Structure 1
Amino acid sequence: MARIYVDKYTGKLERTDLYLVTLTLKNGDVHSNLEPRMLFPFTNHSMYIALLNKEEKEIAFVRDLAELDEASANAIEECFREYYMIPKITRVISCEDKFGNLKWTVETDRGEITFQIKNRHNDIKHLWGTPRVIVRDSNDNRYEIPNYKELDARSARLLFSYL
């Protein structure tokens, strides 16, 4: 099957679940239960979006949200808000190192949380050229520090001891 490129001329997207959409093509074909996925989630939120079925096979592709009609673009953005919900770390309260595993307690925009980090070299990433830091815990949850320069001095010191 050839790749289907979706824009406002070829089809419409409708949100049907927390992070699923239905694609209705202009020719009448309907593809249900598709999951939108960003191909570049850290650097580009509005371009290069794959629409995957339950087997994670690509059914269609969106080059740019700006090429969709407003309702379709909104459907994708709503799915992304749920699927890519990444708490923002605003303060590092404590860091403990036990046998190579880190235990962090942080304050986020969603409240205080404690989590473990197994591999500090792979799971704490400074996105070079930006002030952003992405942290992944042992359960594969992600957290973001949007701008490490805005952290208080103690939080920055704790963060940089592991970067």
Structure 2
Amino acid sequence: MSSLPFRDLALDAHGRLVLTDLHGATHEGVTPVRAHPISAPDEGVSLVGVHGHELAWVERLSALPDSPRRVLEAELAAREFHPTLKRLISVNTFATPSTWRVETDRGEVDFVLKSEEDIRRLDEGRLLITSTHGVQLQVPDRWALDKQSKRLLERFL
């Protein structure tokens, strides 16, 4: 059994993350930050205090006991907004900039793709598409998309 990098982690009455470190000191307003949010979301989470200093380092999120792991996962989910692209509905032009209409896990949305470089290829068919507003849409497996979505997407890859 590995030891925890802190004594306790919980939310206070105001919904702020509170960490009790290994020395028993309490730190309110802690912010979790993933070291590798896209390539290795389970590995390396820094717990940062209000003054920007790291208070604790979590090697592997999945190795934590249920209670602190659930608290951290909920905090990270609230901070990270990466909708998943489920279907590419239409593209107004195959030149960039172009307006895309897509279906995500959070509903339909239109966004502008500034250039082909805003489609980042990750490992194993995963993509990260960044809109002109900085919203990053994830494509977990481009090969699993429907035929029309793959056809439209291939024009930009």
Which whole-Å CA distance do the structure 2 matches of 1:55 and 1:139 have between them?
28
Q: Deviations over 1:105-159 (max 9, x none)?
A: 10112111001122321x211213x121111111111111111112122111111
Q: Which residue of 2 aligns with 1:148?
A: 142
Which whole-Å CA distance do the structure 2 matches of 1:38 and 1:9 have between them?
15
Partner SS state of residue 125, structure 2: coil
- TM-score, reference length from structure 2: 0.85
Q: Which residue of 1 aligns with 2:155?
A: 161
Corresponding letter in the other structure for 1:125: R
Which whole-Å CA distance do the structure 2 matches of 1:10 and 1:55 have between them?
18
Residue pair 2:45, 2:59 contacting (<8 A) in 1 also: yes
Runs of 4+ in 1 over 4 A off after TM superposition: none
Q: Which residue of 1 aligns with 2:92?
A: 96
Q: Which residue of 1 aligns with 2:41?
A: 45
Of structures 1 and 2, the one with the larger relative CO (CA 8 A, separation 6+) is 1
Superposition pairs of residues 44-83 of structure 1, within 5 angstroms: 44-83=40-79
1:85: how far off? 3.4
1:48: how far off? 0.7
Corresponding letter in the other structure for 1:83: R
Which whole-Å CA distance do the structure 1 matches of 2:30 and 2:5 have between them?
19
Partner SS state of residue 48, structure 1: strand
- TM-score, reference length from structure 1: 0.82
Corresponding letter in the other structure for 1:14: A
What are the ranges of 5 or more consecutive residues in structure 2 without an aligned counterpart?
A: none
Q: Deviations over 1:51-102 (max 9, x none)?
A: 1234544332111224433211111111122222321111111113497312
Of stretches 73-82 and 50-59 in structure 1, the one that deviates more from structure 2 is: 50-59
Q: Is 1:34 aligned with 2:30? A: yes
Partner SS state of residue 14, structure 1: strand
1:30: how far off? 1.1
Q: Is 1:111 aligned with 2:104? A: no
Shift of the 153–127 alpha-carbon distance from structure 1 to 2, 3 Å rule, reads same
Corresponding letter in the other structure for 1:143: L
Number of residue pairs aligned between Structure 1 and Structure 2: 155
Q: 1:135 aligns with which of 122, 129, 136?
A: 129
Name the structure with the higher strand share: 1
Which whole-Å CA distance do the structure 2 matches of 1:111 and 1:85 have between them?
14
Which whole-Å CA distance do the structure 2 matches of 1:61 and 1:26 have between them?
12
